[in-house]
Amino acid sequence: MFNIANNHRIPLVKTAFYFSLYTRKMAAILPLLSSILRQRMFIASGVYILFLNSTCVFY
């Protein structure tokens, strides 16, 4: 693998280390993102129900 900025070869061990570090971070972030998405969907459904109830009051 090449580092274009410095134009020299990066050892395969270092590349594997970066890849494993990246995948570990992604594995830790994905459950966090899914829980945030679940919370936002729950809030959105509550807002939608409130919106439906408020439109019924005005009619």
Sequence spans of domains, the chain: 15-58
Residue 39: predicted pLDDT = 79
Residue 7: predicted pLDDT = 54
Query: Residues 13-59: pLDDT tens digits?
Result: 566 666 666 666 666 666 667 777 777 778 888 777 777 777 655 55
Q: How far apart are CA 12 and CA 52, in angstroms?
A: 58
CB 29 within 8 A of CB 36: no
Residue 1: predicted pLDDT = 46
* CA dihedral of residues 37, 41, 44, 50 (deg, nearest 10): -150
Residue 30: predicted pLDDT = 67
Q: How far apart are CA 20 and CA 49, in angstroms?
A: 44
Q: How far apart are CA 13 and CA 42, in angstroms?
A: 44
**Does the pLDDT value for residue 4 go beyond 60?**
no
